Amino acid sequence: MERRGKLNRFIYITLIIFLCITILVSCDQNNHKADYATEEPFLIASETYAGEIEVGAVETSYSTYISIDVDGNVKLYSEGYSDEDAPIVEMTINQSEVEHVQKLIEEASFWKLDENISDNDSNDGYKEMITVQWENDEKTVGGLNPLDEGFNELKDYVFHHFIDQDQRHEWEEEIEQYILEVDPDVH
């Protein structure tokens, strides 16, 4: 009888431990967001020059944005200069590339990152931000020369994988010319 009681206690304790582990694992999995926004871009990444601005340096007077939606629409643009005449690069990526971006978001544990991940020893460089939008929530993370490895991997992928260097350079020339046309006092 005593042996049976020990066996029952062992089974009872084992079940409780198993249940606790199951609950902890499911809580961690439910902590991340899987339902990305469908009515707007699920990711918007930006970079803005944050150093001393030289007089006449148009290239330091605007922010660069790249947005991606769940249908694979990618857009390179500049905020504040987004009327219909402003230069924009638009393209479509395939679903596996969209899923790869979402995987990078998950691997970075984006929803757990601090909102400010700046390199506190930096005085200039680039302010880099990423906003991820889910169906019922959004989070913006970044800062001046961010230090988080997962964030930087995601940002580098978004900024350097879809828009090739020639396309990016051509857009930069066009947006700078556009800015000078609509705001001649910028330099």
Residue 38: inside a domain = no
Tell me what pLDDT residue 59 has: 64
Domain span at residue 168 reads 43-186
Residue among 105, 37, 48 at smallest CA distance from 73: 37
- The beta strands (E) that lie in 21-79 are given as 43-49, 63-68, 73-77
- My answer on whether 86 and 156 are in the same domain is yes
**What is the edge-to-edge ordering of all strands in the sheet holding 73-77?**
89-92, 73-77, 63-68, 43-49, 126-133, 138-144
Tell me what pLDDT residue 30 has: 43
- My answer on whether 7 and 93 are in the same domain is no
Instruction: Give tens-digit pLDDT for 56-98.
Output: 566 667 889 999 999 999 999 997 765 677 899 999 999 999 9
- My answer on whether 17 and 109 are in the same domain is no
More confident residue, 130 or 22: 130
Between 12-16, 64-68, 122-126, 169-173, the lowest mean confidence (pLDDT) is in 12-16
- My answer on whether 58 and 107 are in the same domain is yes
- My answer on whether 96 and 153 are in the same domain is yes
Instruction: Give tens-digit pLDDT for 140-163.
Output: 999 999 999 999 999 999 999 999
Tell me what pLDDT residue 66 has: 97
Instruction: Give tens-digit pLDDT for 94-144.
Output: 999 999 999 999 999 999 999 999 988 877 788 999 999 999 999 999 999
169-176 contacts at long range (C-beta below 8 A, 24 or more positions apart): 171/76, 171/87, 171/89, 172/59, 174/87, 175/62, 175/78, 175/81, 175/86, 175/87, 176/58, 176/59, 176/62
State the CATH number of the domain containing residue 133. 3.30.1560
Tell me what pLDDT residue 117 has: 94
Residue 87: inside a domain = yes
Compute φ and ψ for 90, nearest 5 degrees: -125, 140
Global confidence as pTM = 0.78
Tell me what pLDDT residue 129 has: 97
Residue 169: inside a domain = yes
The structural domain count of the chain equals 2
- My answer on whether 24 and 112 are in the same domain is no
